[in-house]
Structure 1
Amino acid sequence: MNLVLVVLSCPQFTRPNLLDRPFVAILRDERQDQGDGAFGYVFEAANGIRESRVGYPGSKGQTNMQESYRFPLDDGTFAKVRFVADEFGFRAESPLLPTPHPLPAHAVAQIRVAEEQRRRGIQF
C-alpha cells in the first residue's frame, strides 16, 4: 500500500499540446540545390521569422555558408543574427551576442611588445 501512495504522490508531467499553439502562416519557402555542393534557401513566416542561407564548396573540402535570420522578441522587436562559416572558421554577428571585456592596460602593453618583437624577427 505504501508503494502505491508514493507513486500516486509523484508529480505528473504532461507534454505540451502542439495544437494549442497559434497557427503561423508560411509566406515563403524557396530552396535551390545546384548539385555541386552549392545551395540556397529562404524561409519566411507571417510572425516575422525569416531565415536565408547560401552555401558553396570551399577550398578545403568544406561547405562555406553565409546565413542571416531574425525572430520576434517579447518586446515586439526582432533579434537579428548573421554568420559566416568558411575556411577561416565560424563568425557570428548580432547585438544579442555577448562581447568580451576590454583587455587590461598591462595585457595591451604585452601584446604590443610581442608584436614589435615579431616584427624585428625575435622568436622564442
Structure 2
Amino acid sequence: MKIILLACMAAVAVAAPQLGQDQTLRQRPIAILKDERQDLGNGEFFYTFETENGITESRRGYRGSKDQINMEGSYSFPLPDGTFAEVRYVADENGFRAESPLIPTPHPLPAHAIEQIRFAEEQRARGVTWPDY
C-alpha cells in the first residue's frame, strides 16, 4: 500500500508544471467590465457580461409555448489570431440550435447521391412502391 501511495505521489510530482525563473502559474485576474442581471420572475431572466479580454455573453430566458423556459443568446471570445469567435443560439421547444461560422457543416452530397434521391422521389411521385422484406 505504501509503495502505491509513493508511486502516486511521484507521478503527481513528475506531472506538475515545471516553472522557470520568469514564469508563474498565477495569471493576472481578468476584470469584468459589465455584469448586468435581471430576474423578471416566473423563470424569465436576462443577463449580459463583458470582460476586459473580450469575452462577452448575453442570454435571455422566456416562457415557451409548453410553459417551459426558452433561452436565446450569444457569446464571443478572442481567438489566438486576434479575431473573435461568435456563437448565437436558441433553445426552445424545437431543441437547441446554434449558428456560427466556426461550427462545422456537413460535406455536400456527391452528384450521384443527389441523382439517386431525385430518382427515388420521382418514382415515389408516380406511385411506385417496393415490398417490405
- TM-score past 0.5 threshold: yes
Matched, 1:62 2:68: yes
TM-superposed CA distance for 1:109, in Å, is: 3.0
- SS in structure 1 opposite 2:41? coil
Relative to structure 1, the CA distance from residue 115 to residue 14 in structure 2 (aligned partners, 3 Å threshold; closer, same or farther) is same
- Percent identical residues: 62
Q: CA RMSD in A?
A: 3.0
User: In 2, distance between residues paired with 1:122 and 1:67?
Assistant: 47
**Gaps (5+ residues) in structure 2?**
18-24
Give me the TM-score of the superposition, normalised by structure 1. Answer: 0.76
Partner of 2:11: 10
TM-superposed CA distance for 1:51, in Å, is: 0.3
Larger Rg: 2
Matched, 1:40 2:56: no
Give me the TM-score of the superposition, normalised by structure 2. Answer: 0.72
TM-superposed CA distance for 1:14, in Å, is: 4.1
- SS in structure 1 opposite 2:112? helix
| Runs ≥4 residues deviating over 4 A | 113-124
Relative to structure 1, the CA distance from residue 60 to residue 122 in structure 2 (aligned partners, 3 Å threshold; closer, same or farther) is farther
Deviations 1:30-53 (A, max 9, x none): 111111221110011111110000
Equivalent pairs counted in the alignment come to 119
Relative to structure 1, the CA distance from residue 119 to residue 42 in structure 2 (aligned partners, 3 Å threshold; closer, same or farther) is farther
